[in-house]
Amino acid sequence: METIIDNDSVALYFHPDDRIIHHVFKRSAEGPPLREMFLAGLDLIRSRGAFKWLSDDREFPIWSSDDAIWARSEWEPKALAAGWKYWAVVMPIRVMARMNLDDIITRSAENGLTVRSFEDPNDAYDWLRNC
């Protein structure tokens, strides 16, 4: 496992043998730290052939409308076009964050992404390894 980003808000890892990108929200992340993490992941899709993403979103923040619009209209289409295929999501602890993420998951699945939600990050990783 390679550490790509590790700061107070998020960590981003890459598992080269399985070509899995793996992020962990540590606390609320918005604006530049959030976008930096997603853009680094996009770079891994493009440069390392990663096509699986594990989101450990137990501490998922409710995004600002600017970040949500950016992720939906700019980042996600680029990630899908670059080859992102599978997304394993470890669901948030907080109910409001779960509801917010449910909307994102539904929209992503409608855009052709294969998505599955989990309560345990190990289960999520195992599923991705077998995709």
Q: What is the pLDDT along the chain (131 residues), one digit of tens a residue?
A: 999 999 998 999 999 999 999 999 987 777 788 899 999 999 999 999 999 999 999 987 777 889 889 999 999 999 999 999 999 999 988 888 888 888 889 989 998 999 999 999 999 999 999 99
CATH of domain 2-129: 3.30.750.24
How far is 87 from 124, CA to CA, in rounded Å? 9
| Among candidate residues 94, 87, 88, the one with its CA nearest the CA of residue 118 | 88
How far is 90 from 124, CA to CA, in rounded Å? 7
Strand partners, 76: none
User: What's phi and psi for 108, nearest 5 deg?
Assistant: -65, -40
How wide is the angle at C-alpha 117 spanned by C-alphas 24 and 124, nearest 5°?
Answer: 60
Residue 77, number of CB atoms within 10 A of its CB: 11
**Domain coordinates in residue numbering, the chain:** 2-129
Please list, residue by residue across 33-60, b when 16 or more beta carbons sit within 10 angstroms of its beta carbon and e when fewer do: ebbbbbebbbebbeeeebbbbbbbbbbb
Listed in sequence order, the residues at least 6 apart from 81 whose beta carbon sits closer than 8 Å to its beta carbon are none
How far is 11 from 66, CA to CA, in rounded Å? 21
Sheet holding 2-6, edge to edge: 2-6, 10-15, 20-25, 52-56, 86-90, 114-118
**pTM summary value:** 0.92
